[in-house]
Structure 1
Amino acid sequence: MSNALGLAAGMLLDGWLGEPRWLWNRLPHPAVLMGRVVGALERRWNTGRHRKAKGVAAMLVLAAGALALGALLELGGVVVQALCVAVLLAQKSLVQHVSAVAAGLRLSVGEGRRAVAMIVSRDTADMDASQVARAAIESGAENFSDGVIAPAFWFLVGGLPGLLLYKVTNTADSMVGYRNTRYAAYGWAAARLDDLLNLVPARLTALILVLLSGQWTGWGAMIADARRHRSPNAGWPEAVMARALDVALAGPRSYDGQLRHLAWVNESGRKSIGPAEIDGAVSLLWRAWWAVMIFTILVACGLSFT
């Protein structure tokens, strides 16, 4: 019961307070601290020979530390659980950043580009309004999965040890899980573990979005799109979101000045989109959040009576 209760309380705090600037302007956010540890290990070990083995060792160190710290924090009971969940889930922050793109686009394409550059890694300088909107919607769908559903899932499964293991893995993947000269070998373990930990949550996110948007008839096409996606997990929530909004997502985009011809998600959907479609995505993300919240409360209440 305590995990479900702690999750429900933490989700309410996150949905209400989000990321309070007054606090994180004074203290380093736990995700920042995780990043510092990941960065320190990378600078020390991502050199010389056997970088893949060193990357595996780094992930073992990070995982062991996350599990140990999580077990220690568990001793604080439901209150500490709820506070940790509130800090490490990102629903309000996510929708605020995505909504900021819609607000920016309503002013100008340039403002939309500046807003979307805060949440995506692709090149944004030459994006048109539709590309900006697509990037925002894709980011919202993907980050709802790995910033809300996945940490909530692993907290329910493994308490604070499970939550911290997921978050440190996701942080490591975001920093070193790239297929380039510097990180391809060293970041292999972080990327593969992140893929594994997101395997169930990404598909669970897709199922939640399907239930709320009624997209059952397109399930086969959504699975096909998800399997064509460059990520083994991100394509699942994106495929459902695309059909819920009747838009085409993904497709060609530029990274580091190089155009990449990636597969479309829901290619037959509308490609000329803007702030209204971003607003639709935000609305669906909030409805999904509330659905998870209500389910979690029901689980907590049900367990309390058994």
Structure 2
Amino acid sequence: MSRPVNPIRIGIDGGGTTCRFALQLPDKVLRTSLGSANAHSDLQATINVLNAGLSELFEKADLQPDVFWNIPAFAGLAGVTTQEKADQIAGAVKLNRLSVEDDRRSAVAGALKNGNGYVAGVGTGSFLARQDQTGIRFMGGYGADLGDEASGCWLGKELLKRLLYWRDNAVAPSALLETVWSGFDSNLETVLAFGQSARPADFAKFAPQIVDAATSGDPNALALMEAGAQYIIQSLRVLGWQEGEKVCLLGGLASHYRPYLPPHIAANLAQPEGSALDGCLHLAGQLEPIREERVHEH
């Protein structure tokens, strides 16, 4: 990684389940975390989480307001699909020098630093990327409505689809489906009402149950995990992956796909060099320092 120009900086990694904050000081890093920050599913809640987390950092930092609120910051947030939305968030957050993007570039910056390789980010949402000397090429990351295949949200939605198929005798029963059905009080209207109102993080809550059931050999859970793995495999092919090139799995769900990847891909899996939050701190370090006269009134 290139040398940061801002030794004091803030990184914010906002996902569909958790939003993590870090303040890099010359001698230490202060951290805090709060709930979901998905700008697509709930923009105002995301802004509220950002301001609340920054206020917590401010309390921990013991810095003067005119210093803290002018620290350069980078936020990589789930659900930032347009520049207009990024600008809206930046304008509503207390920080004077905040750059907002979706959460893909920061994840790549954390995992690969300046090196070549591939990233499969799979948590509540999902995306894949390739980084080389020409830059970064992304695939996916279009959000829960039309994309995020293999993600926790996608798994949850696909599980509920299978539940409905099972009721129509279109798929075989299994312990997983029977357990989920019981969790909805064996009531179709309850399932459908959940599907209409649930946010990505709500669907993603089924992911650990699916992972565990697949490990136990549940056929419906296995089918879901294998379908998610197939999306990762196909996406790597589209991005141009060649045997011998490293692949980093990122996110709370990504590592659970490892047993479902073919040996020639699994053999090239590598530990990420850092987290998405590390990537946010790095990108914040590259921002142009703010001018002293730009100070919030607090």
TM range (shorter): under 0.3
Q: TM-score, normalised by structure 1?
A: 0.24
User: Higher helix fraction: Structure 1 or Structure 2?
Assistant: 1
